[in-house]
Structure 1
Amino acid sequence: MTFARPDHTSDLDTLPLMPAWVTSARAETLEDVAFLSGATLNHLHLVLGCQEVPQALLRDKLALRAAAACVAFSGRPERDAELRDAVHLLRPGDLPGPAGETYLAWRRAAERPVSIKALSRALPTLEPGQIAAWLDAGKGAPVTRAAMALEAVLREAPRADEAALILADAALAQSLGWGNLMPLLATGLKRADLRKHGDDLRSACHRALISSVVGAVRLAADLARRATHLKAVAPKLRAKGAGDAVEMFLTRDVVAPSALPLPDRAARRLCDRLVDLGAVRELTGRDTFRLYGV
């Protein structure tokens, strides 16, 4: 299947809409689900070609979703809010804990172009040669290759769900010609799916992508609107370093004021100003240790 990139998209109204038949169709056979997952991936490819979509921000938010899914697979109680706190409120010398490590792994895997070096950074306990072998374990169409990579990892390391899902998404990205990994499979698969094999696993991956890609496309459209608004209000910000701060908001799921390139008080004022302008949201509901995001 050829994934064509649109020539130009200069207006948010031109963001392509997911065809209704993709989400309403009922797929019974492997061929049916393969066709529908291919349609959703093709549509996501078109959306990613739209310049209004803040791709780094989209990947970071999808990384949080994938991390939350992996943490749930392991039986841990942490969800989005706890994962954000575990990573974004870290102080020098602090350890993020097991759930925070999972979140960091997904963020690191998604933030740089797919390569053995980048994947080794995300999965430091694995040898680069092992990562390369698992990444190349699959052959054939993109989703088949991803499913085979997933199965290869779990066959040799049955408890390495996180690594298996990261490498499966990396194999998918490489097959589709995407520069960066898009965290997709973890949010669509069920825990029981990870113990399937062969055609059953491929079918599960196709079904997972149908649901997760539809969610990713909706998120991309929402982020495109929010990013456009943030860029529109940016000229109203007069604080020194405000431009760099805006760029951080356009690439990260959340930002702590202490991470901004401004003095503490100025950073908090800038965040409050952006909230007043409707450009970012405060996501914790707390009076202290706040986190802000587009």
Structure 2
Amino acid sequence: MVLPDAAPGQLLFRITPRSWQPYLQLARLDRPIGWWLLVLPCWWSSALASIAAHQPPHVSHLALFVVGAMAMRGAGSTYNDIIDRYVDAKVERTRYRPIPSGRVSVAAARIFLVFQALIGLAVVLCFSRFTILLGMASLVIVAIYPFMKRISSWPQLVLGLAFAWGGLVGWAAAMGSLAGAPVWLYAGAVLWTIGYDTIYAIQDARDDPAAGIKSTARMFGASVRPAVGVIYGGALILIEGALFSAGIGGNALAQLGVAGFALHLGRQIWRVDAADPVGALALFRSNRDAGLILFAGLALAALAQVA
């Protein structure tokens, strides 16, 4: 079964046994955009640290962040689906997910959650004690996220606090501590997440009231375009603040990455429409490319100074 917002025709689903596929869906491996959006702030932060320290990019860190992002995205999504199983059954886009559709039992999902969390733990143990403790701290935010959509119109803010955490972790893994630059970067990544998840939530704005779910997409309504514009504008200002705080505000390659990122966000603002859920999904997915543009600028800047 292909879920409504899954990326179609994926090789992973063609080569794995059919019995595995509900678990791959539970881990959101049919929607790789999730782990991409989780890993990109890690990559930004790591590259920013490399520039500040006049070092080449930490390739081993970047690879570990991918594994960790896939594992923790899967674990967080599994936890979310366990908590939201009754709500998911009331929303058209989510009613065929593995748990509400009965293809995976709650008990089996809990075991799968532990398995994914152990992979994430193995990854974080590869870093310093400070980084381990910092990574563990994000679990508090992850734990409360599924409940926020029931009580607040800003669940996207809580999601942002969790998904942007890599903006701190990448720097900490490279430097062994934190500084102003990663805090600025984290704040920018939080706003970026609020913006793109507001666009994503347009898909469910019609079904959410019946399910008792709140979101920024519902709150902004027809004003979603200027609202996302303000949020994305704030993200760009904060990311610029990160570059200047790291002492690289004048780095041409880094600024080129920011400019490309800004142009991509501008395109999203221009095209977002509260009445177009199909277009909203495409715009949401395009944030992988936006994030990669910014990373490319930062990574090239790190490479150029040690060449």
- Considering Cα pairs closer than 8 Å and 6+ residues apart, tell me whether 1 or 2 has the greater RCO: 2
Q: What TM-score do the two structures reach when normalised by structure 1?
A: 0.31
Normalized per residue, which structure has more helix? Answer: 2
TM-score normalized with structure 2 length: 0.30
